[in-house]
Every structure is written in structure tokens, then in C-alpha cells.
A = this chain, B = another copy of it.
């Protein structure tokens, strides 16, 4: 095995000093270097396959501008409670990450994917790595917000309702309107007893906003709100099965369900079918997200599409421009939504 080629090796090959190599490579205009020397350096660079080291560049740019450039964007993905896994079982994250990576890569940035151990704070990783930007997915207001504010590292909050617009950029879906649209769609198809199945409804969170939309639609169409129809748990496939079982056991007399995540809707289809309840013949289901599993599911899931690719691209654009210019004005982008009609809702 061969050790990494260094600027010193290039200097030796070109017969110049390491400083000269650095001047040529960085195009410093304060030092004048003959064209012949420059050519010799570039030849040596090519011959040895020398690649300037990012760490050195980070450090030297940090000395120059008082702010380092690592060209690294950190992504904070929700983890399981024991901290061992990312929530990749919700396909939303993989699809989002794909789009974000592409958008940032085109601008010369790479993504740092890191979970956080129970005894760690993400902000320490961020400082340690000289991150140029941070993308945070689905965070609730917490003490850590203060850390991000103080750090001064450009941050884009995705699907957060943290109300710190002065400090953070933000990209989210119009969750409240999405909840309204989904519920209205069911009502327009003749349904009036509609269960609302979601993750934990924390105030100032995505589920809460969709819940407000649900209530708003009921009110508009004169349908009384019934607390018994609200079913909460964890956003995953297993909870979908559980929610279906809860509904079947409790005689709620519903004809439709609005599930605030497709992955839960997919679990419900399975849970209902196991007990002989047919979708959409017996119960209609509408989801939210438009992840790939909503297409794969049989029947495919009618859902509220949040354009995940557009979301990833929007976040990429924001975080890159903020990384390049941390003092740029804060932006808030709302990704448009629409109903995608598939097979899981029937007209009564």
C-alpha cells in the first residue's frame, strides 16, 4: 500500500518548495510565480495524482475568514428510542435524503450522516466537524434549540413548528391544510364517521397541525367532533395493525380513516384484512406523504402527496445558500400538497 501523496511530494517532483505548490494550487495573487514554474507544479500534481486535502483547506479558510469551510452538511435524522437505528423504516427519510444529497452535491457539498448517542449533543458533532450547515428533520421545541441558535451554524428546520424564524430557515408542508384536504375528500365521498389515526399529537408538531385541519373540515361540513375517533400511537407499520385492531374492537361505527402517515395506513390495510375487513369496500382509508409503499400496497393508498423530491431539493437550495452566506435572510418554504386518488377510498 502506498501512503497518501502530499504537497511535499509534489514539491520534490517539481523541484520547488511546498509553499510554492500551495501558492500555485490556491491561485494566490499576492505572490508572483513564473508560468514555467506553475506548469511544472501542475505536471507534478497530475503525475502523482495529488489531491489537496480538505482538512487543510478547511483550516486555512478558517484562518482566513474567521469561519471555516468544511463543505459538509450534517443531517439529523430521527432515531429509535434506544438510539440504535435511524427511522429508515419510514421510507420518507430515504426518499428525502436522496433528493437532498443530489441537490447539495451539485454545489460541492457532502452529507454527514450521524446519529447521536444518549450522552451526546449533536451540536458538539456539528462544531467538531466544522459543519457548514445543519438540516434537522422533525424536531420538537426543546432545550437543544438554544444550542443551535448560539452556534451560529446555518440551520434548516424541516417539518418543525419551532417558531424561531429569526434564527432558522424552514421547509415544511402545509400540514394543517393537508389535514383539511384529506378529511374534506372523505366527506365529499359521503363519509361522516371518520377516524383520525396519527402519531402522538404534540402541540406545535406535524400531527397536531394535521389534526387541526381534520377538525376544521368537520366543522365546515357540520359534522360533530367525536374524541373517541382520535387514535394515537407511533408512526410505523406495527401501529397501523394495532390501530386497525383497536377500531374493530371498539365498535366505533366508522366508514373511513384519515391516517397522517402512509406507512401507518399500509399497516391498517394489513390489520383490517387479517380480520376479513375489506378496503375500501368496508372501510375507506386516506394516507399522507405519498411514499413509495403507498403505491406498493394492495389496494394502493389514496393519499395527500407532499412532493418529497421537491422538499429535498428546496432544503438543498436553502442550506447551500445559507452555508455560502450565513447572513442571508431567513426563508420559510411551504411545499404544496395535493390529493392523489388511488384505490383505498370508495364513494358511499
A45 on the B face (CB < 8 A): no
- Enumerate chain B residues within 8 angstroms of A232, measured Cβ to Cβ: none
Known contacts A51-B127, A266-B296; decide if A115 and B101 are in contact (CB<8 Å).
yes
Decide: A110 and B102 in contact? CB cutoff 8 A: no
Contact A112 B110, beta carbon cutoff 8 Å: yes
Give Cα A237 to B125, complex, Å: 37
Closest residue to A327 on the B side, CB-wise?
B1
A109 to B88, CA, bound (A): 20
A273 interface contact, C-beta 8 A:
yes
Q: Quick check: A113 and B101 within 8 Å, CB to CB?
A: yes
Give the residue name and chain of the B residue nearest to A292 (CB).
B89
Complex Cα gap A2–B115 (Å) = 25
When each residue 211-233 of chain A gets 1 if its CB lies under 8 Å from chain B and 0 otherwise, what string results? 00000000000000000000000
Q: Which residues of B contact A295 (CB under 8 A)?
A: 237
Q: Which of A16-24, A29-37, A52-60, A133-141 contacts B (4 or more CB under 8 A)?
A: A52-60
Q: Select one of B51, B128, B167, B297 contacting A51, CB under 8 A.
A: B128
Binds B, one of A62-70, A187-195, A243-251: A62-70
- Could you tell me the distance between the alpha carbons of A262 and B58 in the complex, rounded to whole angstroms? 43
5 tightest A-B CB contacts, nearest first:
A88-B94, A55-B58, A1-B152, A51-B127, A85-B98
Which residues does chain B contribute within 8 Å of A98, judged by CB atoms? 84-86, 88
Question: Contacts A85-B98, A97-B88, A297-B296 known; A152 to B110 CB distance under 8 Å?
Answer: no
Give residues of chain A (273-312) contacting chain B, Cβ–Cβ below 8 Å.
273, 292-293, 295-298
Residues of B within 8 A of A111 (CB): 112-114
Q: Oligomeric state, in number of copies?
A: 2
Chain B residues, Cβ within 8 Å of A68: 4, 53, 55
> Is A207 in contact with chain B by the CB < 8 A criterion?
no
Minimum C-beta distance from A75 to chain B (A): 8
A104 vs chain B, min Cβ distance (A): 9
A99 on the interface (CB 8 Å rule)? yes
> How far does the alpha carbon of A65 sit from the alpha carbon of B265 in the complex, in Å?
55
Decide: A53 and B89 in contact? CB cutoff 8 A: no
Q: Which residues of B contact A270 (CB under 8 A)?
A: 296, 298
A197 proximal to B (CB < 8 A) = no
* In the assembled complex, A150 has its CB within 8 A of some CB on chain B: yes
Partner of A84, one of B72, B102, B327: B102
Name the residue among A51, A67, A99 with the largest chain B CB count within 10 angstroms: A51
